[in-house]
Amino acid sequence: MTSAPTPSPLPPSPAQEWHAILKATLLRVPALPEDLFKRMRKARLTFGDRVHCPFLRPFFLSPEDETRVRTVAETIADLGERIASAALDDKQLFAQLHLREEEERLARIPTGFGRASTASRLDAFLLPDSLKFAEYNGESPAGAGYSETLAEIFRGLPVMGKFAQTHHVHSYPLSAKLLDALVMSYLDWGGPSAKPQIAIVDWEDVPTMSEFEILKERFERMGIPTLIADPRELEWDGKSLVARDKKIDLVYRRVLINDIVAKPAECSALVKAYSANAVCMANNFRCKIPHVKAFFAVLTDEQNGALFSHGERELIRNHIPWTRVVADVGTAHYGQHVDLLALIRKERENLVLKPSDEYGGSGVTLGWETNEADWDMAIERALSAKNGVWIVQERIPIRREVFPYIADVGRVDYRDMLVDFAPYLFRGKVCGFLTRLSATGLANVTSGGGQVPAFRVSPRSSLAN
C-alpha cells in the first residue's frame, strides 16, 4: 500500500521573506532604524513631532488584490458622482444625505461641468476572501505626497535591494497622477492654459503643511507654478482670485468645507471667486454630497435600489457595509422590516456609531468595545445631536498583520497591527494607496496610528517557473 504523497510546503509570503532579510540586515546594519527616522525627518514625513512610519516593512499586495480593489473602488467613486448629480435634482434623495443648510447652498452653486471629486479616497479592509469599504472621503483627502515620499525612502533601504532580487516591486507615482487630475479638471472647467497657476489652499497652521511643501516642489518640478496660501491671504478683486500678487487659475482646495462654513469671513474671497466661476476649484463644493458618511446609507437602503443596476446593487451588497442614519424609524435590514433603534440596541456587538461628518475617527463608538450603558449613551448622543446626524454601520471584517515596529532606537519588536488600506482615486481612477496601521480598532494618523508604503509585488518569473 503506497502512502499518500507529502504535500509540498507553501512558499513563504512576501512579508515572511522581507522579515527574514530584515533580521539579517539588522545584524549587519544595526543603525537601520535610526537611519530610517533620519530620512523621514529630512523628507518632512512628520505629523507634529512624530514620524509617519515607525515600522520597518511595507504593505504588500498582489496584482490580483490590486485588480479587485481597483474594480470595486472605481465603481463606488462613479456612484458618488452619480449621487452628487442626482441629489441636486431630487429633493427626497438630497434630504437623505443630511447636509447642513449652508453646505447645501455651497453645493448648489453652479460650476459648469466636471467631477465633484477630482481627488478622493476610500477606506477599506482588504482580506483574501473579503473587501469591505468603511467610508468615502470625497472631499479633500490628505497623504498622497507623504505616501509617495515614504515609498521612495523604503525603495532606498538595503532590505529592499535584496528583496527586489526575487520580486518585481511596483510603487505608485501619486503626485504626478494628482497633478494630471488637477490640470484635467481645470481644462474640463474651461481653463485656457495647460500650465495653470495653482494655489494649494489651507490654514497655515495645519499639521499637514509639510505635505503641501512636498507637493509644491513636485508640481513645480513637473513645470506647473504652485504656491501655498492660507484662505485669509486670498483676495477677490471682482474679476480674479489673487494670492501674493499672482492671479490664481486653479485652487487645489485642502481647507475643509466644515471650516469654510464655520469661518465665512476668512474664506469669503475663495467663495466669491468660485461663485463667480472665476477660478477652477478642485474638489468643488458638490463633493460634500458623497463625502458625508450618510452616502453609504443612501447606497445600502433598498428604497434607492432603482438608482443602481443589478450589478451595482450586487457590488454594494458585497462591499459596502449596511448603514443607516440614526433615527426613531422603521427600516429594512437584509429584507426584514425592523425598528431601527431596537436593532441598534440588540445588535451592539455587530455595530459601530459615528457622526456622519467628522474626521480622524472623532466620535466613533465601536459597539464590541463598549458596554451596554455606554452604548445607550452613544445612541442618545446620536439622537440628540444638534450639529448634523449620526450613522450606524455594521461591523466589518478587519485585516491584521505582524509588522516590525521600532519601539525605540536600537530595538525592533514584532507587533500585530490592524491594516487600513485606502485607495486614492484621481478623477475616479485608482492611482495608489494610503496604508495605515493601528493597534486599536481605529486606524488613522490623527488618532495615533502609523503609516507604511504600499507596493504591488510579484515573484520574478525565473523563480516562478
Query: Are residues 339 and 450 located together in one domain of the fold?
Result: no
DSSP string of 279-303, one letter each residue? SEEES-GGGHHHHSTHHHHHHH-GG
- Tens digit of pLDDT for each residue in 138-155? 998 999 999 999 999 999
CA 213 to chain centroid, in Å, comes to 20
Q: What single-letter amino acid sits at 388?
A: G
The 3-state DSSP class for residue 68 equals: helix
DSSP string of 21-48, one letter each residue? HHHHHHHH-TTHHHHHHHHHHHTT-EET
Query: Are residues 88 and 156 located together in one domain of the fold?
Result: yes
Query: Are residues 353 and 222 located together in one domain of the fold?
Result: no
In a domain? residue 408: yes
**Is the confidence at residue 448, as pLDDT, over 70?**
no
What's the confidence (pLDDT) of residue 445?
46
In a domain? residue 63: yes
Half-sphere exposure of 57 toward its Cβ, with a 13 Å CA cutoff? 28
- Tens digit of pLDDT for each residue in 248-277? 999 999 999 999 999 999 999 999 999 999
Query: What CATH number should be reported for the domain holding residue 348?
Result: 3.30.1490
Query: Are residues 344 and 286 located together in one domain of the fold?
Result: no
Structural contact between residues 122 and 77, judged by C-beta atoms closer than 8 angstroms = yes
DSSP string of 395-442, one letter each residue? ----EEEEEEEEEETTEEEEEEEEEEEEEEEETTEEEEEEEEEESSS-
CA 434 to chain centroid, in Å, comes to 7
Q: Name which residue leads in pLDDT, 288 or 128.
A: 288
- Tens digit of pLDDT for each residue in 205-242? 998 899 999 999 999 999 999 999 999 999 999 999 99
Q: Which of 347, 369, 394 is the last residue of a domain?
A: 394
Q: Which residue has the cell 511596483?
A: 170
Query: Cα angle vertex 118, ends 40, 111, to 5°?
Result: 140
In a domain? residue 363: yes
Query: What CATH number should be reported for the domain holding residue 134?
Result: 3.40.50.1760
Query: Are residues 90 and 182 located together in one domain of the fold?
Result: yes
**Number of neighbours of residue 376 by Cβ within 10 angstroms:** 14
Query: Are residues 406 and 360 located together in one domain of the fold?
Result: no
Query: Are residues 349 and 432 located together in one domain of the fold?
Result: no
In a domain? residue 2: no
What's the confidence (pLDDT) of residue 30?
92
In a domain? residue 463: no
**Is the confidence at residue 70, as pLDDT, over 60?**
yes
Query: Are residues 110 and 139 located together in one domain of the fold?
Result: yes
- Tens digit of pLDDT for each residue in 324-352? 999 999 999 998 999 999 999 999 999 99
Domain count, the chain: 2
DSSP 2: P
What's the confidence (pLDDT) of residue 5?
59
Query: Are residues 112 and 254 located together in one domain of the fold?
Result: yes
What's the confidence (pLDDT) of residue 279?
96
pLDDT mean over 382-393: 92
Query: Are residues 263 and 286 located together in one domain of the fold?
Result: yes
pLDDT mean over 75-101: 96
- How far apart, in whole angstroms, are the C-alpha atoms of residue 215 and residue 427? 18
Query: Are residues 339 and 376 located together in one domain of the fold?
Result: yes
Query: Are residues 189 and 240 located together in one domain of the fold?
Result: yes
Query: Cα angle vertex 380, ends 302, 363, to 5°?
Result: 80
Q: Which of 370, 394, 418 is the last residue of a domain?
A: 394
- How far apart, in whole angstroms, are the C-alpha atoms of residue 148 and residue 222? 15
Closest CA to 107 of 254, 292, 231, 247: 292
The parent domain of residue 234 ranges over: 59-291+399-458
Mean pLDDT for all residues in the chain? 92
In a domain? residue 19: no
- Tens digit of pLDDT for each residue in 152-205? 999 999 999 999 999 999 999 999 999 999 999 999 999 988 899 999 999 999
The 3-state DSSP class for residue 357 equals: coil
Instruction: Assign 465 a pLDDT band (cuts: 50, 70, 90).
Output: very low
Q: What single-letter amino acid sits at 200?
A: I
Instruction: Go through the chain and tell me how many residues it has.
Output: 465
SS3 string, 143-182, reads CHHHHHHHHHHHHCCHHHHHHCCCEEEECCCHHHHHHHHH
Q: Which of 377, 394, 411 is the last residue of a domain?
A: 394
- How far apart, in whole angstroms, are the C-alpha atoms of residue 350 and residue 214? 41
What's the confidence (pLDDT) of residue 3?
55
Structural contact between residues 418 and 443, judged by C-beta atoms closer than 8 angstroms = yes
Before 284, cis peptide (omega within 30)? no
Q: What single-letter amino acid sits at 206?
A: V
What's the confidence (pLDDT) of residue 140?
86
What's the confidence (pLDDT) of residue 162?
96
